[in-house]
Amino acid sequence: MCMVGRCGCTSAGAASDRCMLHWASSLEELAMVSTLCLERLILWRDDALHWSDCKKIKIYSTPKLQVIGYLNPADHVLQIRDTVIKNDMKASAATVVPSVEVLAMTIRFGVHEEEQMVPCFHKCFPGSITHTRSTNEANLEFWKDVGFIQ
């Protein structure tokens, strides 16, 4: 399934969809409710199109979800079940999606609020390998401060 276009909010595809590409739209909310077969969620933003990306990503029932990319703390508010993920939150059973194996994020290093969300997002996907891409110069001090994430 590929979503391209402009609208207010939507629920992600059919229960049998395995991959979803959300690209070049100005959705305010994308909710994955009863997407039992969804394995990959790709959030792609093409700055050349001058469209904003989806603001709120809601994950409810996605037992097979393995890949999420590119989650961006500047653009996305992550909600898992009924909990909006915020800085310095403690992980709990309600805020964890254990099936995710790969988490890709776009980060503006040097923007403190965005840097602080990296460990928060990572705690929600504890079994994942995290890949980051930077939209500016990498801040090596950030990685020293993050340390080990349990």
Asked if 51 contacts 25 with a C-beta cutoff of 8 angstroms, the reply is yes
One-letter amino acid identity for 57?
A: I
d(CA 138, CA 11) in angstroms, rounded, equals: 35
Token reading at 89: 């939150």
pLDDT digits (tens, 9 = 90+) for 23-49: 766 678 888 888 889 999 998 765 555
pLDDT of residue 82: 93
3-state secondary structure of 15: coil
| Nearest Cα residue to 100 out of 40, 24, 30 | 40
pLDDT of residue 15: 66
Size of the chain, expressed as the number of residues it contains:
150
Q: Tell whether the model's pLDDT for residue 1 goes beyond 50.
A: no
d(CA 118, CA 111) in angstroms, rounded, equals: 12
- State the alpha helices, DSSP H only, in the chain: 112-124, 140-146
One-letter amino acid identity for 117?
A: M
- The residue-averaged pLDDT of 95-102 equals 95
